């Protein structure tokens, strides 16, 4: 990357200016892509639209040039986030732990940035299926957030949601559902109706009902999530592939095999475009198609 080159000006356009709801969402996304420098803002934007390889190249350059520990911690954290989304979980843990080490030396134990590190490390262990370790880290993050944040803060809702996911993966469905409902209540108070985090919450609740074989309720929540993701994410975003696979799996369970195959094939097509060839989600999609 030529560090002397001009920064590209990127304009987000999700929909026509006549759609007030989505125009408001566009403004929210622009806010979420803010950072302290032009390069950091570009990195945040690349992450937001799922361009993880390009973001990685940028953050590696920024890390090499960083003079302050606080900047290094931030770039280590961002690279951990990227590696997690690329499916390289061991490398993600390495980057996240480097960021955490710096933060633990510099910050008080109840600082929100420590909660962020615990939260993201937990998400990697969650992806690795190490659920007790993930739960412990999520609970550390939540404990800090309950002290340092107002009760309807976005980060609290995200922690409740992910703790719900861990309980779900441990087979503790009623506990999981209660955490999801707390999370959804906060999301619905503070987010726009088409925010992607609402889709996350709807999808989690749909997953519980799916597991409990309440297929009608599951499909209702899956479809609410899917409609939001289609409106707010690029068509080749990995999160859309997850949504297609969720719905495809449900249709397979209710023996609507043609619909199931269609949804799984769309998911695979997205993943083949958006993910590296060794990403574990590709194997999952091939397996889904094989089971139809």
β strands within the chain, DSSP E: none
pLDDT at 35: 53
Question: Residue 88 — φ and ψ, nearest 5°?
Answer: -95, 75
CATH numbers and ranges of domains, the chain: 21-103 (1.25.40.10), 107-190 (1.25.40.10), 195-272+283-292 (1.25.40.10)
More reliable by pLDDT, 273 or 121: 121
> 270 is written with which tokens?
């997205």
pLDDT at 6: 35
Kindly state the average pLDDT of the residues 111-116: 92
Q: Is the pLDDT of residue 4 over 70?
A: no
pLDDT at 23: 56
More reliable by pLDDT, 5 or 27: 27
Residue in this structure with the two tokens 């290094």, named with its chain if needed: 72
User: pLDDT tier at 2 (50, 70, 90 boundaries)?
Assistant: very low
Out of 69-73, 151-155, 215-219, the most confident range is 215-219
User: pLDDT tier at 31 (50, 70, 90 boundaries)?
Assistant: low
Q: What percentage of the chain reaches a pLDDT higher than 90? A: 61
Under a CB-based contact definition with an 8 Å cutoff, are residues 105 and 66 in contact?
Answer: no
Kindly state the average pLDDT of the residues 9-13: 39
Its pTM stands at 0.65
Q: How far is the CA of 276 from the CAs of 56, 178, 270, in angstroms? A: 14, 35, 11
Q: How far is the CA of 110 from the CAs of 32, 107, 118, 153, 163, in angstroms? A: 24, 8, 12, 16, 19
Q: How many Å apart are CA 151 and CA 164, to the nearest integer? A: 18
pLDDT at 185: 96
More reliable by pLDDT, 193 or 66: 193
Per-residue pLDDT of 151-202, as tens digits, reads: 999 999 989 989 998 999 999 999 999 999 999 999 999 999 999 889 989 9
pLDDT at 7: 36
């Amino acid at each position: 990357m030529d560090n002397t080159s001009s920064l590209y000006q990127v304009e987000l356009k999700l929909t026509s200016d006549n759609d007030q709801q989505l125009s408001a969402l566009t403004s929210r996304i622009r806010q979420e892509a803010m950072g302290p420098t032009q390069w950091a803002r570009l990195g945040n934007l690349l992450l937001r639209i799922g361009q993880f390889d390009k973001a990685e190249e940028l953050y590696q350059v920024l890390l090499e040039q960083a003079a302050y520990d606080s900047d290094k911690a931030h770039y280590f954290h961002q690279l951990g986030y990227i590696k997690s989304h690329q499916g390289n979980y061991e490398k993600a843990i390495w980057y996240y732990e480097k960021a955490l080490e710096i933060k633990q030396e510099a910050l008080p134990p109840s600082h929100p940035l420590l909660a962020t590190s615990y939260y993201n490390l937990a998400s990697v262990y969650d992806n690795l299926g190490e659920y007790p370790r993930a739960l412990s880290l999520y609970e550390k993050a939540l404990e800090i957030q309950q002290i340092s944040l107002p009760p309807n803060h976005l980060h609290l809702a995200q922690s409740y949601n992910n703790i719900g996911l861990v309980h779900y993966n441990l087979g503790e469905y009623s506990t999981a559902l209660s955490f999801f409902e707390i999370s959804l209540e906060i999301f619905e108070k503070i987010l726009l109706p088409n925010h992607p985090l609402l889709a996350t919450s709807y999808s989690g609740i749909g997953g519980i009902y799916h597991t409990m074989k309440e297929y009608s309720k599951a499909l209702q929540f899956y479809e609410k999530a899917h409609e939001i993701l289609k409106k707010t994410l690029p068509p080749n975003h990995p999160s859309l592939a997850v949504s297609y696979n969720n719905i495809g799996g449900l249709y397979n369970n209710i023996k609507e095999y043609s619909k199931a195959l269609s949804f799984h094939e769309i998911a695979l097509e997205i993943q083949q475009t958006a993910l590296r060839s060794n990403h574990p989600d590709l194997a999952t999609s091939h397996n889904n198609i094989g089971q139809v």
